[in-house]
Amino acid sequence: MRFRFPRDSDAISPTAHYTGEVWRRNGLGHDALGTRQGRLLFESLQPLMALSRTLGGDTLEGFLLARHRLIDALLEAAIEAGNVGQVIEIAAGMSPRGLTFSARHPDLTYVEGDLPVMAARKRTALAKAGGGHRVADFDALADDGPTSLTSLAAGLDRERGLAVISEGLINYFPRAQVDGLWARIATTLRDFRGGIYLSDLFLHSGNAGGVQRAFGALLGAFVRGRVHFPYADPDQAEAALAAAGFDTATLHPGTEGGSGPGAERVTVIEARVAG
């Protein structure tokens, strides 16, 4: 089975198309966020998912939905508690979260960042969907400059709490790059009246199920690289978050976001800095 995408597309964009289609098919996303590439990937992987489901194994939809719903629940709780009034979602892809939360909380400031080709596509989709939040070009590995996290945070209100979200991003990078990204996020959050970081994380591949390992190989082929498992266990991840500058870190099991097949394969990070 071979998938072909335009060579000028951003490397990670195929997975963004696929996850966007998963959200849409499960009632979480606007139809405008669906793409032809996403539909192709979704339909092509359905036989594998059906076989795994029949055999009692994991499914991609199960853990993708679990992580998405759990991040949503943690973000909603932080907003309702008055701890968050602004959100930066990095590598947002075709996620419906910005559209959903901006509509649900009109006073919420929501900023998305992604690689230029995907960001442009998202802006076009949001125009069709009626979404008005900002989408900016972003490079997760930039220390400074116009595509950095510092730039995304510029102009936000330092007197309001900020949440930074990354979904489906961390396992594309080796540990040194993740450590650097987490340090930049913690530093950015410390400039605000309280800050929270929410992200999914897949721990060491030795704990992964067969479907997850197969999907990891497939993603690696799409992005012309590897899918990484930078931390072996929760203790190691929590230590890395503390070293990056977070004051507290909680690793939630994916099953808190749902009990679908594969939910137990994902962990969701809730890391905070004091205001």
For residue 218, how many other CB atoms are within 10 A of its CB?
Answer: 20
Give the integer Cα–Cα distance in Å for 228 and 97.
25
Tens of pLDDT, residues 108-136: 999 999 999 889 999 999 999 887 799 99
| Tokens representing residue 181 in the block | 């990204």
Confidence label for 52 from pLDDT (cuts 50, 70 and 90): low
3.40.50.10860, 3.30.365.10, 3.40.50.150, 3.40.50.300: which CATH number matches 13-273?
3.40.50.150
Q: Which amino acid, 44?
A: S
Radius of gyration of the chain (CA): 17
Strand bridging mode 248-253 / 267-273: antiparallel
Q: Which amino acid, 172?
A: Y
Look over the chain and give the mean of its residue pLDDT values, rounded to a whole number: 84
pLDDT at 205 over 90: no
